[in-house]
Amino acid sequence: MTAAGFGEEMYALVERLYPLCRSITGDGVRATLDIVGEYLPLQVHEVPTGTQVLDWTVPQEWNIRDAYVADSTGRRVVDFAASSLHVLGYSVPVSRTMPLSELRAHLHTLPEQPALVPYRTSYYTPEWGFCLAQETLDALPDGEYEVVVDSTLADGHLTYAEHVVPGQVPDEVIVSCHVCHPSLANDNLAGVAVATFLARALAQQTPYYTYRFLFAPGTIGAITWLARNAERIERVKHGLVLACAGDSGRLTYKRSRRGDAEIDRVLRHVLAASGRPHRVVEFTPYGYDERQFCSPGFDLGVGSLSRTPYAGYPEYHTSADNLDFVSPEAMADTLAVCREAFAVLDRNRLYVNLSPYGEPQLGRRGLYDSLGGRSDAKQAQMAMLWVLSLSDGEHSLLDVAERSGLPFDTVAGAAGALHGAGLIKE
């Protein structure tokens, strides 16, 4: 399938997921995973309320059926049915009539963006509220309003899912995205779509690493996975968190806490070699779930890939983060970078030169002859010489590519030819 085809399919998935009301728990998460499960086989986990997960406790499960604010004529001036953003996430049930003066304390707006509805939550503090455009609030006359939040907050479960693409070795690469935001197309649905199609693409290959995809609510989901997988942590060699993957901004890679993890070097190399507009930024302990995987007790080599980073665009966490804000082309580009990066990661090896005393004679082994007629013959020849020079068991193929300035694909091809000729070994 072409990149454009992948982009259109990812956009169609975002369209299907967009109307669902998601939170850190509840049926909206399950419905989301049911749809993703049509694209990938998923192992779904249900973790009971009250389960201790590291320093946290799995909260009660939240579900909502309806919510509105209605004026004296019965007209719904704020309506959950129109957008799941209209309700403060995790709002406790309420059914009252009150004056606007009292209701105002429970209304959330963006005065600086008066036409937009904000996204707000109250996960761990019992509260109720509504989100609406400032211009809607300004138009409300004084008077009595009927306020209804038909929700439940009760013992239940936290839900997350995994999909594993088996590799040649049990060492794992974690790819994580969050499934806890309601109708926000870029943050987080574009990341969910890219992760889904990345998993499908990898399944068409036989990757070197085992790739584990996590579809989990932000923060508490990653913490829960880490708490429940202590025995597997040592297998996690690399990781990437996907978020804000569908807007028109340039790509941004956020390094792991280590700063020099292999995934950091791979993404830096791939982005630079691609010629795409991009930024590489340093780690900060704020953002998405890279901060959980990189916490000092785990210190995993996990970075984060996005386009415009969190809070870096005016539409962030507002109703303007809608289906018009993301594009098939941007998601296809993000997917392409992920595939390029993992292609490098999968082939990055350490080799030892088995003929290290002087330059081995490549001609009599047919290595020069094999390049005849190739337009990149000189480049491929140089790649062989560089691989032989740096194959001391301490320099990886990525080191060779960076030091020589040659494309990684050319270096990896040269290593394959030299390995086949018995001149180097892993």
Residues that constitute the known binding site for Zn(2+): 181, 187, 317
What DSSP letter does each residue of 99-127 carry, written as one string?
EHHHHGGGEE--TTSTT-PBP-B-SSS--
Structure tokens at 100: 């606007």
Burial class of residue 95 (count of CB atoms within 10 Å of its CB; 0-12, 13-18, 19+): exposed
CA dist 330 to 4, 13, 107, 119, Å? 10, 14, 34, 23
Residue 398 neighbours by CB under 8 Å, 6+ apart: 262, 265, 266, 269, 344, 348, 408
241 phi/psi in degrees, rounded to 5: -100, 130
Hey, what are 153's tokens?
């907050």
Cα–Cα distance between 244 and 307 in angstroms, integer? 6
> What H or E segment, with its residue span, contains residue 43?
strand 43-48
Residue 272 CA to residue 274 CA, distance in Å, equals 5
Contacts of 113 (CB under 8 A, 6+ apart): 134, 314, 318, 320
- Copy the structure tokens of residue 213: 């995809």
Query: Can you spell out the DSSP letters for 167-225?
Result: -SSS-EEEEEEE---SS-IIIIIIHHHHHHHHHHHHHTS--SSEEEEEEE-TTHHHHHH
Distance CA 70, CA 146 (A): 5
Q: Considering Cα of 270, then 276, then 280, then 285, what sign does the dihedral take?
A: negative
Q: Please name which of 388, 393, 386 lies closest in space to residue 352, comparing C-alpha atoms.
A: 393
Binding residues: 181, 187, 317
Cα 260 vs. chain centroid, distance in angstroms? 20
